[in-house]
Amino acid sequence: MTVRLTHIGGPTVLIELAGWRILTDPTFDAPGRTYGFGLGTSSTKTAGPAIDSDEIGDVDLILLSHDHHADNLDERGRALLPAAATVVTTTAGQRRLAQSHVRGLSAGGVTRLSAEDRPTLSVTATPCRHGPPLSRPVAGQVVGFALRVGDDERVALWMTGDTVLHRPVRRLARSLDVDVLLLHLGSVQFPITGPLRYSMNSADAGELVASLRPRVVVPVHYEGWSHFSEPEQHARDSLPGASWLEPGIPRDV
């Protein structure tokens, strides 16, 4: 199945799949601002979006891996939420956002979207651990998303979300048949927590890809913020078979 992807910047991607227009983790603020992430952690946005939020057009679904970090939902991204037909996020995010069209899922939960002119879209929340062991009380609830179209058991697209490579993700990778892997990278680190990592690096990604063996690997969320510790060129050299999108340019994969 052909999927059209437009990388807007950071984790933000416009996905066009089987007639559905899907936006991931909307971030549209201008660069230059520093955002606090709690407990002394912060990050500065260093690059703006390739497409302005006013140019996105109609969105059927926003996939929001978590609402409480500005590199996944900033102020201009938050302003887009009411315009989307449906938003799917974490159960904690659903409570915080408190909007009638927001659906909350825990890992393993499923919700479905239907329309008369296109096949049903099934969204399954996938496990994430946004940091080292025991970091959940600090990092908060995060999920990824696996999308299936109609009655097809194959996952049309898996968005990993912000996660390290840990046992539940490894276990899931062994069980899924995935067409397109939307891979959050960056190797997030903060000075206050030293060598601890809060997202995958390219070595983790290579291990995940080897286990999963998707048709296409599309890295995102590796640039545009100061808390990414892995140089982009190193990630590109480490994942030579991946499809690296040029921001703002749609590509069929």
CATH of residue 147's domain is 3.60.15.10
Per-residue pLDDT of the chain (253 residues; tens, 9 = 90+): 889 999 999 999 999 999 999 999 999 999 999 999 988 899 999 999 999 999 999 999 999 999 999 999 999 999 999 999 999 999 999 999 999 999 999 999 999 999 999 999 999 999 999 999 989 888 999 999 999 999 999 999 999 999 999 999 999 999 999 999 999 999 999 999 999 999 999 999 999 999 999 999 999 999 999 999 999 999 999 999 999 999 999 999 9
Report how far residue 53's alpha carbon sits from residue 130's, in angstroms, rounded to the nearest whole number: 27
Q: What is the DSSP letter of 246?
A: P
Q: What is the pTM of this model?
A: 0.97
Number of domains in the chain: 1
Domain of residue 176 covers 4-252
List phi, psi (to 5°) of 166: -130, 180
| Strand 20-24 with 12-17, pairing | antiparallel
What amino acid occupies position 103?
R
